[in-house]
């Protein structure tokens, strides 16, 4: 049998099928969450993620890591511009350091975020939690946590 390397063989033989399943599943779930959030709450999934980080940081943040959201710094700036225009966040200067910009959710964002949490939980429960048994969910969580740990090193 001819085993001469070809792009077609390399695409089938050398790439991990598990990694493909992970990427396709994550992408499909992200699209479902984004669509539901946009239809029911009027914000994108990435806007939800920004608000989530702000509330986890107790309502004010000096920096949201654009890389965590798979955005460039310019993309993050444009996203915050859209969120500010939509009345979801305000930006201001840090009292102790003029170079630092504080990002805060608005009062309007609080109500929107709470509605968005319900949508997010519902979609994740239906499409991520429900299809798997409790053992499968725990195994997947442990495997993903381990990958995250190794990749962070």
Average pLDDT for 64-71: 61
pLDDT band at 1 (very low <50, low <70, confident <90, very high): low
Instruction: Give tens-digit pLDDT for 13-54.
Output: 666 778 888 999 999 999 999 999 999 999 999 999 999 988
Strand locations in 1-137 (E): 89-93, 101-105
pLDDT band at 3 (very low <50, low <70, confident <90, very high): confident
Instruction: Give tens-digit pLDDT for 97-142.
Output: 777 678 889 999 999 999 999 999 999 999 999 999 999 999 999 9
Q: Please enumerate in sequence order all residues whose Cβ is within 8 A of that of 108, keeping only pairs 6 or more positions apart, or say none.
A: 87, 88
**Other beta carbons within 10 Å of 68:** 10
Domain limits of the chain? 28-152
Q: pTM for the whole thing?
A: 0.81
Q: Please enumerate in sequence order all residues whose Cβ is within 8 A of that of 32, keeping only pairs 6 or more positions apart, or say none.
A: 123, 127
Fold designation for 28-152: Arc Repressor Mutant, subunit A (1.10.10)
Strands 89-93 and 101-105: antiparallel
């Amino acid at each position: 049998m001819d085993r001469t390397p070809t792009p077609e063989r390399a695409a089938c033989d050398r790439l991990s099928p598990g990694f493909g399943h992970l990427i396709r599943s994550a992408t499909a779930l992200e699209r479902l969450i984004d669509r539901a959030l946009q239809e029911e709450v009027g914000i994108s999934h990435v806007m939800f993620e920004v608000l989530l980080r702000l509330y986890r940081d107790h309502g004010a943040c000096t920096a949201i890591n654009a890389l965590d959201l798979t955005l460039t710094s310019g993309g993050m700036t444009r996203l915050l511009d859209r969120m500010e225009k939509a009345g979801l966040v305000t930006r201001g200067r840090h009292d102790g350091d003029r170079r630092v910009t504080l990002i805060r959710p608005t009062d309007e964002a609080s109500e929107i975020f709470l509605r968005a949490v319900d949508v997010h939980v519902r979609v994740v429960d239906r499409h991520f939690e429900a299809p798997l048994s409790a053992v499968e969910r725990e195994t997947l969580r442990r495997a993903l946590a381990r990958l995250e740990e190794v990749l962070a090193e």
